[in-house]
Amino acid sequence: MTSLLLFGAGGLFDFDATLPLMAVQVVILTFILNALFFKPVGRVVEEREDYVNTSRAEAKKKIAEVEKLESDLKNQLKEARIAAQKVILDAEEDSDNLYKEALALATSEANSSREDARREIDSQRDKALNQLKSEADNLGDLIVERLLAQK
């Protein structure tokens, strides 16, 4: 009985002219859907995939450029730091040299002033001693004259 329901007239699998007609309809529907829906969607998907691939390739190129620029900038920064340190060291050396020169000049001027002052003091002392000697001689002569005058 089951075989009559499955394969008999009006059963689930009826092999009359409708089966080939349905097969032809499925094939025609497949071609129509393929032409109207699947090809345009496939084309859009392929275009998107190409766009993503080209965008990814461009992004990789840009990342490589950015990394190169970053390394160049790091090298430039490193060189600039080295140059700045050299400038600072040169400035410190110049400052030290100027300080030493100024100190030497001030020391030499102080020594010169001290020597001039010593010479001036020696000169004044010699004058004072000479004046004192002459006054002592005059006073001695005056004393001798008065003593001789009293006798």
Cα separation, 14 vs 7, whole angstroms: 6
pLDDT score at 15: 62
CA angle 34, 35, 40 (to 5 degrees): 90
Give the pLDDT of the chain (151 residues) as one tens digit per residue. Answer: 455 445 555 555 656 677 788 889 999 999 998 888 888 888 899 999 999 999 999 999 999 999 999 999 999 999 999 999 999 999 999 999 999 999 999 999 999 999 999 999 999 999 999 998 898 888 888 888 888 887 6
Radius of gyration of the chain (CA): 61
Q: Please say whether the beta carbons of 4 and 11 come within 8 A.
A: yes
pLDDT score at 108: 94
pLDDT score at 13: 60
Distances (CA, A) of 74 to 63, 70, 139, 145: 16, 6, 94, 103
Cα separation, 61 vs 67, whole angstroms: 10
Instruction: Write the single-letter amino acid at 24.
Output: V
Q: Where are the domains of the chain?
A: 15-146
Q: State both tokens at 11.
A: 């059963």
pTM of the model: 0.46
